[in-house]
Amino acid sequence: MKSKLGYIKFVLLLALMAFLYGFAEKRHSQRKLTGSEVHFTDNENLYVTVDAVNKLLIQNEEANANLGQETLDLNKVETLLNSHDMIENAEVFLRLDGKLSAIVTQRKPIGRAVGNTSFYLDKNGEVMPLSENFSARVPLMLGFDESNILTAYPLVSYIKNDSFLSKHITTIQRLENGRYELKLRKADFVVYFGEIKNIALKFNNFKAFYKKALKDKKLDTYKRVNLQFGNQVVCTKK
């Protein structure tokens, strides 16, 4: 008898829990969205603005504030944001207060191609359109288009990730023979890099040369610095 009574209590408890869960789900689904908010994962300049992201959230029919939360497809909202040209990744979730929140990581340019068409090369080696909101301070890339820009990615990426090089190099030019020249911010000479080979070795040699020439006050005496010969730097004086 006792075991039968315990079984009945257990069933009633399960029924009560199911009712409360269903009631809570119904209340939750009937709540309306109260707005949206956007957070960026870094404090860098905005190639896509908060207003632009909010506009995508608000105008998307899946995120319309007049719809109940049960109709919201967060994956679809994320897909919409991730399709934006300036967004690398977006995560969307619904807060307890009814706000739709988006955490956005922007794409990061490392070089800017200038010519018949202008665009950025981003840190992942992909073509990125220019932004209407901000112009990145990255090396200019001359002689490039979308068909050959990726050939320079190892060189541009190395420059971007080196504090000395990113501070000094302003221009990367692709020559007709597929070789490369570099121009510096505070130097009158051209750096002939040659083929994109032995990048670390060539730049280590260049940095050693630059620091010694700067110390000896001879930077202004050169018109061309050639790095293509491996372990040596060949300079041409003015």
Per residue in 117-134, pLDDT (tens digit) is 899 999 999 999 999 888
Tell me the pLDDT tens digit for each residue of 139-198. Answer: 999 999 999 999 999 999 999 999 999 999 999 999 988 899 999 998 889 999 999 999
C-alpha span between 134 and 47 (Å, rounded): 6
Domain that holds residue 134: 109-237
Mention every residue, 6+ apart, whose C-beta is less than 8 A from residue 20.
none
User: Are 236 and 200 a contacting pair, CB within 8 Å?
Assistant: no
Task: Kindly state whether residues 180 and 230 are assigned to the same domain.
Answer: yes
> What local confidence, expressed as pLDDT, does residue 222 receive?
94
Please give the average per-residue pLDDT across 30-36, as a whole number.
62
Inter-CA distances, 174 with 95, 97, 104, 157, 206, Å:
50, 54, 34, 15, 19
Task: Kindly state whether residues 102 and 113 are assigned to the same domain.
Answer: no
Task: Kindly state whether residues 55 and 168 are assigned to the same domain.
Answer: no
Q: How many domains does the chain have?
A: 2
Tell me the pLDDT tens digit for each residue of 34-51. Answer: 677 888 888 766 888 888
Task: Kindly state whether residues 215 and 125 are assigned to the same domain.
Answer: yes
Mean pLDDT in the chain? 83
Please give the average per-residue pLDDT across 95-117, as a whole number.
89
Percent of the chain with pLDDT over 90: 52
Please give the average per-residue pLDDT across 104-126, as a whole number.
94
Boundary (domain end) residue, out of 106, 129, 163? 106
Q: What is the pTM of this model?
A: 0.78
- CATH code assigned at 212: 3.40.50.11690
Q: Is residue 86 part of a domain?
A: yes
Q: Is residue 25 part of a domain?
A: no
Task: Kindly state whether residues 117 and 197 are assigned to the same domain.
Answer: yes
Task: Kindly state whether residues 65 and 123 are assigned to the same domain.
Answer: no
